[in-house]
Structure 1
Amino acid sequence: MGFSRSRSPFHQRSLTVKRWSILSASVCLSLGVLGLSVFDAHAKPPVAQKKVEKAPVDPKAEAAFREQAKKLTSGTELDKVLALENTERGIKADAMPVVDNLTFLRRVYCDLVGRIPTNEEAVAFEADQSPAKRNEIIDRLIADERFVDRWTVFYADMFRLRAQADGGGAALAWVHQAIADGMPHDEMSRRLITTNGKAGAAPEVAFVLGDNADPMILAGVTSQVFMGVRISCAQCHDHPFDVWTQENFYGFAAYFGKTQRIENQFTRTIYAKENERSTVLWPPEGKAKPDERKPMKPSFPFDTVAANETPEYIARFNALRAKQKAEREALLAKAGEKGSDVDDLLADASENEQKAKGKKQDDAITKQAKQDAKDLNIKAGLYVTSEWRTQLAELVTSPRNRFFAKNLVNRVWADLVGRGIVDPIDDFSDNNPPSHPKTLDYIADEFVASGYDLRTLVRLIVSSQVYQRAHVYGLAEQDQQDLEKSFLATPMRRMLSETLYDSIITAGHLFDVKHSPGKNMKTTWKLSQMVKPGTGRPGLALTAMKFEQKMAMNGPEMDREEAAPGLDLEKGIEINFGKVLANAKKEESKVEVEEMRVMSKEEIEAERMRAQMQTQRRGVDYIDRYVKATFDDNPKFGSSLRMSSPAAPEHFLRVFGQTDREILGETRDHAPNMRQALMMLNGQLIHEASRVGEFEPMHAVLAEQKNLDGAIKLAYREILTREPTADEIREAKTIIAAQKDQFDGMADFRWILLNCNEFRFLP
C-alpha cells in the first residue's frame, strides 16, 4: 500500500548532502538564539491595556445563534458555530482545506498518545476504506493506555506537579490513575483543592503542599490554574488594569487561611492540616494597628450564573449526574442485599456492559460506585478535607462558575490547535477578551454537559475541521496570522519535548533492543577512584565514586563512544505509578522510583561499595585509576511520558521546553536554541535511533531483499510518515553511497531525516 501524505514545505527543497542538513539546522537554530525565530508567528509588541466593558449574555440571542449555526452544512457543530462567528466578525477569507489522511494520522497520534505512528499503523490506516476511519482512530487512541500517559503530562504542567517535591511522585501517579479511571475534571480539581493529610499517603495534598500551604500563594495559584484568572496582582493593591480589588484577593485567600504545612521534626514527614484560627487578617499589614486586624471572612469574588437560572447545559449536567448517582446507589444497594464484595459486583457490571456493547469499555458509573463504597467505610478513605476549602472547591467547580469550564477548554484547545481562544491561556480578563466567545461558550457548555469528561472534550476538538486544517504558507506574515487567529488555518507547532523524545524512539525502534546480544561489544576506559594502599580498612579496594568515559576503541567507533556520556542527559528516572499508589494506600510517604537503565553487576557492586564507603571515609585517601570496561552497546529506551518530572535541567526534555513547574504561569518554550541543535546532532538518542539493527524491518530490506529503493521509502515512512519523491530517492542514494558499508550509509541518511524540521514539527 503506497503512502499519499503530502510533503511539508519544510521539505520543498530536497536534501542534498549531510553537510547541508547540519548547516541548515545550525542556521535555523541560531536565529532562535538571536530572537529571530522564523517559527515565532505570534510575537507582538506590548500594547497599552484598555478597559473593555463586559456585555451581558442574552440567553435567547445565544440560543438563536446556535440554531442558525446548525443550518450550516459543512463540518461538525463546533465548525458551524465557529464559521458563523467568523462571519459575524466580518472574516471573509476562505479556510484552509483539511489535511490528507496520513498527515491527520501523524498529527493525531502525536497529540493524543505522544508519538508518531509506526509504519505498520500507517499502512493499516491507509488500507482502511471506512469513511468514518478518522473518528474511529480517534476513539481508538483515546482508549489507548498512552492517552493516559500523554494527558498526565498535560495536567502535571497545569497543576505544576513536581515529582521531587513533597508527595509529588504520588500526586503524579494519582493524576495518572484518575485519568485512567475517567475521573471527571471537577472531581479531580475538588480533591486537589480540599485534601489534607500526609505527603505521599494522601497524593492529592501535593497541590497544597507544593506552595508550602501559603494562603496568599494558593489564592493566586487556584484562581489562575483552575479558572484562568490572574488576581495575584491584587495582593498588594487594587489591580491596575482589572476589576479585582485587594479586598477581593484577601477574601479569596481566606479560604486557605486555616491551612498549615507541618513537618514532623523526628520523621521529617510533611503534612497539611487545618488550624482553628485563620492567618489571613484584614486590613493588610501596615494599613491598620495590629490589634485592629481581624481574621478575614472567606468570599468568592467571581461572577456566577444566578441560582434562579438553569441554562440548558446545566440541566443536561444535572440530569447526567442524577442518572449516574441512581446507578451507583443501585449497585451499592445490591451489595447490601447480597452481602457481596463491591469489587465482585463491579466485575459483574463491567462484564455485562461489555457483552451489551460488544467491546471492552471503562465504566465510569462502576468506578464511581467503588469510590462511594470507600466513602462509606467499606474501605477507608485516604484523605480528609478542609471545611473552608471544601466550600471553595464547590464554588470553583460549580457548573455555574463559567470560568472553570472555559479555563480547561481553552487550555486543551490551545494544546491541540496551537493557539488559545483566550491568549495567553491563563489571562481571562475584560482587557483580554476571547477571540471567539461564542465558540468558547459552546465548547464549554458541551464539556459541562458531558460531566466534565476530558475524553469527550478532546474528541470534540480533534474531530472538527478546525483541528484537521492545513497550515498556510506563502502569505504575508500579517495575513498568515489573521488566518491562524481566526482558526481558518492551523499554526505551526513543534512537538512537545516528550512527544519528540518518544517519536525518536518509535522511529528508531528503541522501545526494545534491536541488535543481537553480543553483536556490539565495545571497550571503554573509565576513571574510577580507588582507595590508596595503606589507608582505610582492608577490603575497600575499588570504589566507583564517579564514572567518566575517557577512551574508546580505535577506528570509526571513537566518535560514537565519545557521545556516550550524553546518555545520562537523555535517559531518566521512571515512576512506577502502580507501585507509588500501592505505597500510598499503605500510607507510606516514601515515593519509590526505579531507574530506566538496567545496571550492570559491576555497577551494582560499585554502588554497594560506595554506600559502604560513606560510613568508613575517615582516614581514607583516594587515587584515580583507569579501569577497563566492556559492554554490549545495545540500549533500549523507555517512554518519557513515564519519567519522573520535571527532568534535570540538562536533560533532553528540559532542553526542548519542559519547564521546572516552579513559576506560576510559566509555559513551555518552543523557541529553537543551540543546545537543542547540539543534542539532535550529537546526542546518544539520535545516534542509536539512526543505527540499523538486525531486529528491525530495515535490516531485512537491505540485507535480504537488497532493495535500496524500498529501504529509502521505508525510512521516510517510519520517520516522516510519507512517501519520498523521485528526487528525494535519488539524493538519498547519493548520501548512502558515501559510506562503504550500506548500513552505515543508511544510518547517516536516517540521522538526516531525524534532524530535519519536518520531523520535529507537527504536519
Structure 2
Amino acid sequence: MANRIVLWLAFATQFIAIDATAADRANKVAANPDRSFHNPTGQIDLWINQRLAADGETAGEQSSDAEFCRRVWLDLAGVAPPIWEVREFISDKEPGKRSRLIERLLESPRFASHMATRYSLALLPQDAGLLASNDLESLTTWLREAFRENKPYDHFVGAFLTASGDEPGPTMFYTTRDADPVKVASATSRLFLGIGIDCAQCHDHPFSKWTQDDFWTFAAFFSQLEIPEQGMQQRNVVRDRVGKELTFPESDRIAEPRYLGVEQPPEPDPTDFRRRQLTIWLASRSNPYFATAAVNRVWAHLFGRGLVNPVDEIDSIDYATHPELLRYLSDYFISIRFDLKQLYRTIAKTDAYQRTSRSTTHRPAAESYAMMHTKTLSPEQYYDSLQQNVIRSGTSDIAQGSQTIFMRQQFAQRMRDSGATPLEYSHGVVQALGMMNGPEMMSATAEQSSGLIAGVNAPFYDDTQRVEVIYLACVSRYPNDDEVKRCLAYLGDEAIEATRDEKFGDLIWVLANTAECFVCP
C-alpha cells in the first residue's frame, strides 16, 4: 500500500480536476429559430455561438478522439469504452465517425440499460434503501424494454402514472412511496413537470408562485390511491378506490383535482379515474411544463447542468440561461412526438456537446457552453467500467442478473453521500477512501481476480504496450511519453519489493483512483 500511495501522489497532479460552476450570466441573444426543425442540431449551435459572441467568449476547440469516445460511451452507454473500442475509434480516419458512433450506441442494448439505470434512480424515492433483488430487477427489466423499443416519452410517463394492479415495474413508483398522495404529487411534479411544489404543502411557497391550494389540488389526482392488504405473494400492488378524497390539512375542505398553473378544474371524468385525466393533460399542448422538463433533464444529463438549473425548479422558461433555446427544444420534442432517442441524437451531434473539456488557461462559465465541463461519474458508471475493463477485462457486456444488480446497488449506496440525490452524485473524500480500500479495488488489482492483469501478461506485449493497455482500460486514452517513462521506471525498479503482477496492480490502483478515472470529460 505504501508503494501505491507514493505512486498515486506522484501521478495525481497530472490529471484533470472537477471544476466549480461559475456565476450565472444574463441572457443576451435570441436567434431566429427554424420552426420547420429542418436542422435542429445546427439551430442549437447557432444559439450557443451567438450568445458566446455577445458575451465576448470564444468557442473552445473540438474534443480529441479519445476524449469524445470516453464521453459519448459514458453518456449514452453508461460505461467507459472497452480498450479495443478506443483503439479502433482513434485509428479510424473515415469522415463521420463521431456520428456513426453516436448512432451505434443509441441503437445498442447498452443505451437501453443505461437509461434504465438512470430512470430507476430518478423514479424511486431517495429513502427507498436496498430493494429486494427481484423487485429492482423487475423495474429495470421493464425500463430496459421500454427504452429498447423507444417508447415515446409521453407513453412512458403515462405507464407509470396510470399503473395499477401488480404490473411489474411501474407500480413501484407508488408502492415505494406508500401510495401517499402527498409523496406521489411531490415526485410527479419534480420528475415530470420540473416543478418543486413541496414547500407549498404547508404554506404558500415563499420564493415562487405556487400556493398551498396548488399543492393540494394537484395531490388530489392521487387521492384514490391505495395499497390493498397483501400476502406474501402480492407485492407492489396498487389500486384506486372511487370516492376516496383528500382534504386540506387541519380542515374538512375537500381538495378538488386541478392541474398546476390552471385556474379552472378539469371536467369530471365519467370513470372517475383521476390519474388518467392527469396523464392526458401532461402531454397536451396546453401543459407548458412537460416537454420543457424532459428536454431540460436530457440537456443536464449530457452537459452536467440544465438550461434551467436545478432541473426541478422550472417555474418559468425565462429563468433559463438560454430561454429561447429551451423553448425551441421543447417545441422540437413535441414535433418529434416525444422521441427521447432522437432528442439525445440531436444534442449529441452538436458542436457544443463535442467541445473539449481540457484547458490550461481561461475556463469560461459552465453555462456558456464555450467548452465542455467535466461530469463526475455516477457510482453505477464507475462500478460498471471497473467490472468491464479491469476486473472482467475482455468481456463486452455488463451482466444484468439480479445478483449483479444487487451488488451494484450495494456499491452505489455505499459510495453516495447520505444527503445526495442519486443523480447528483459528487466524489468526495469519504468516497475516495472507500474506493481505495474497497473490495472492488481489491478485485481490480489482485492477480488472482483481475482480468486486466491477466491480459497484460500476454507474451506478445512488451512493457510499453502493457502500460498502454492499462491506460486505455482505466482512463480511455494512450499515455503520453512522460507517463510511459515513469511507469516503465516503476516496473523496472528492482529496489521495490513487489512481483511484476503486484506492480501492474499498483499502476491500476493509481490510475483507478485519479480524478481522471472518476470523470466524464
* TM-score normalised by structure 2 residue count: 0.84
Confirm or deny: 8 A CA contact 1:196 1:386 kept in the other structure: no
Alignment match of 2:258 (pick from 299, 309, 315): 299
Q: Aligned-pair distance for 1:743?
A: 2.8
Contact 2:376 2:425 (8 Å CA) reproduced:
no
Structure 2 residue 514 is matched with structure 1 residue 751: no
The 5-angstrom pairing of residues 168-183 of structure 1 reads 169-183=137-151
Q: Following the alignment from structure 2 to structure 1, what is the Cα–Cα distance between the partners of residues 511 and 311? A: 33
The separation in 2 between residues aligned to 1:502 and 1:644, in whole angstroms, is 13
Match of 2:268 in 1: none
Letter paired with 1:96: G
Q: Aligned residue for 1:93?
A: 57
Question: Structure 2 residue aligned with 1:398, among 251, 276, 284?
Answer: 284
Aligned to 2:97: 133
Q: CA deviation at 1:86?
A: 4.3
Write the letter of the residue equivalent to 1:91. D
User: Could you tell me which residue of structure 2 aligns to residue 251 of structure 1?
Assistant: 217
* Distance apart, 1:107 and its partner CA: 0.9
**Correspondence 1:217 to 2:196:** no
Tell me which residue corresponds to 1:436.
322
What pairs up with 1:510-659 in 2 under 5 angstroms? 510=392, 576=401, 593=402, 595-596=403-404, 643-644=405-406, 647-648=409-410, 652-657=411-416
Q: Is 1:242 matched with 2:208?
A: yes
Tell whether the 8 Å contact from 2:154 to 2:338 is kept in structure 1 after alignment.
yes
Change (3 A) 1:703 1:262: closer
Separation in 1, partners of 2:142, 2:386: 28
CA distance in 1, matches of 2:202, 2:452: 63
Q: Would the alpha carbon gap of residues 575 and 754 (structure 1) be closer, same or farther in structure 2, given more than 3 Å must change?
A: closer
Change (3 A) 1:744 1:211: closer
Q: Which residue is 2:266 aligned to?
A: none
SS of equivalent residue, structure 2 residue 227: strand
State the alpha-carbon separation in 2 of the partners of residues 497 and 695 from structure 1: 20
CA distance in 1: counterparts of 2:450 and 2:368, whole angstroms = 47
Structure 1 residue 148, shift from structure 2 partner: 1.0
Change (3 A) 1:205 1:715: closer
Quick check: 1:716 aligned with 2:471? yes
- Aligned partners of 2:484 and 2:105: how far apart in 1? 32
Task: Tell me which residue corresponds to 1:495.
Answer: 377
CA contact (8 A) 2:45 2:350 kept: yes
Question: 1:118 aligns to what?
Answer: 82
Residues 621-653 of structure 1: per-residue CA shift (max 9 Å, x gap): xxxxxxxxxxxxxxxxxxxxxx138823xxx32
Q: Do residues 65 (structure 1) and 53 (structure 2) align?
A: no
Which position in structure 2 is the counterpart of 1:590? none
Match among 290, 293, 300 for residue 407 of structure 1: 293
SS in 1 for 2:165: strand
Question: How many angstroms apart in 1 are the aligned matches of 2:36 and 2:428?
Answer: 41
Report deviation, 1:136: 0.3
Q: CA separation in 2, counterparts of 1:728 and 1:575?
A: 36
1:672 aligns with 2:434: no
Q: Is the 8 A contact 2:78 2:110 kept in 1?
A: yes
Tell me the number of residue pairs that the alignment of Structure 1 and Structure 2 aligns.
500
Pairing 1:418–2:304 present: yes
The worse-fitting range, judged by mean Cα deviation, of 449-458 and 184-193 is 449-458
Map 1:24-103 → 2, pairs under 5 A: 39=18, 41-42=20-21, 65-67=32-34, 76-87=42-53, 90-103=54-67
What letter is aligned with 1:224?
R
Give 1:184 deviation, angstroms: 1.0
Paired with 1:729 and 1:302, the residues of 2 have a C-alpha distance of: 60
Tell me, yes or no, if the aligned pair for 1:497 and 1:658 is still in contact at 8 Å.
Answer: no
The whole-number CA distance in structure 1 between the counterparts of 2:136 and 2:142 is 10
Q: In 2, are the aligned partners of 1:229 and 1:429 still within 8 Å (CA)?
A: yes
Q: Give the direction of change, closer, same or farther, for the CA distance of 1:735–1:422 in structure 2 (3 Å limit).
A: same
In the superposition, relative to structure 1, how do residues 511 and 736 fare at CA in structure 2: closer, same or farther (>3 Å)? closer
Contact 1:419–1:491 (CA<8 Å) still a contact in 2? no
2:487 counterpart residue number: 732
Higher strand share: 1
- Aligned partners of 1:706, 1:241: CA distance in 2, in Å? 62
Q: Verify the 8 A CA contact 1:215 1:256 in the aligned structure 2.
A: yes
**Given residue 208 of structure 2, which amino acid in structure 1 is its aligned partner?**
D
**Aligned 8 A contact 1:26 1:677 in 2:** no
Q: What's the secondary structure of 1:748's corresponding residue? A: helix
Q: CA deviation at 1:190?
A: 0.9
CA–CA distance in structure 2, aligned partners of residues 706 and 83 of structure 1? 46
- In structure 1, distance between residues paired with 2:245 and 2:82: 56
Q: Is 1:188–2:156 an aligned residue pair? A: yes
Q: How far has the Cα of 1:654 moved from its partner?
A: 2.3
Q: 1:714–1:213: structure 2 CA closer, same or farther, 3 Å change rule?
A: closer
Of residues 241-250 and 99-108 in structure 1, the stretch that sits farther from structure 2 once superposed is 241-250
Query: 1:242·1:430 contact (CA, 8 Å) conserved in 2?
Result: no
- Letter of the aligned partner of 2:517 in structure 1? F
The whole-number CA distance in structure 2 between the counterparts of 1:25 and 1:679 is: 20
Change (3 A) 1:733 1:208: same
Q: Tell me if structure 2 keeps the 8 A contact 1:197–1:205.
A: yes
Q: Where does residue 149 of structure 1 map in the other structure? A: 113
SS in 2 for 1:423: coil
Amino acid at match of 2:163: T
Aligned to 2:340: 454
CA distance 1:731–1:211, shift in 2 (3 Å): same
CA distance in 2, matches of 1:755, 1:425: 30
Change (3 A) 1:727 1:437: same
Query: Structure 2 CA distance, aligned partners of 1:409 and 1:68?
Result: 17
CA separation of 1:750 and 1:253: change in aligned 2, threshold 3 A: closer
Q: Please tell me whether the aligned partners of residues 303 and 373 of structure 2 are also in contact (alpha carbons under 8 angstroms).
A: yes
Deviations 1:540-585 (A, max 9, x none): xxxxxxxxxxxxxxxxxxxxxxxxxxxxxxxx9x864xxxxxxxxx
Q: How many Å apart are 1:425 and its aligned residue?
A: 1.0
The 8 Å contact of residues 201 and 212 in structure 2, kept in 1 or not, is answered as: yes
Q: Cα distance 1:208–1:745, how it changes in 2: closer, same or farther (>3 A)? A: closer
Q: How many angstroms does 1:71 deviate by?
A: 12
**Cα contact 1:21–1:756 (8 A) shared by 2:** no
Distance 1:225 1:151 in 2: 15
Amino acid at match of 2:290: F
Q: What's the CA shift string for 1:21-48, capped at 9, x where partnerless? A: 44479999xxxxxxxx973603889xxx
Q: Structure 1: how far apart are the matches of 2:104 and 2:449?
A: 31
**1:39-89 deviations in Å (ceiling 9; x for gaps):** 3603889xxxxxx9xxxxxxxx98x711599999x97332112223444xx
CA drift at 1:693:
7.3
Amino acid at match of 2:381: T
Mapped partners of 1:65, 1:123: distance in 2: 41
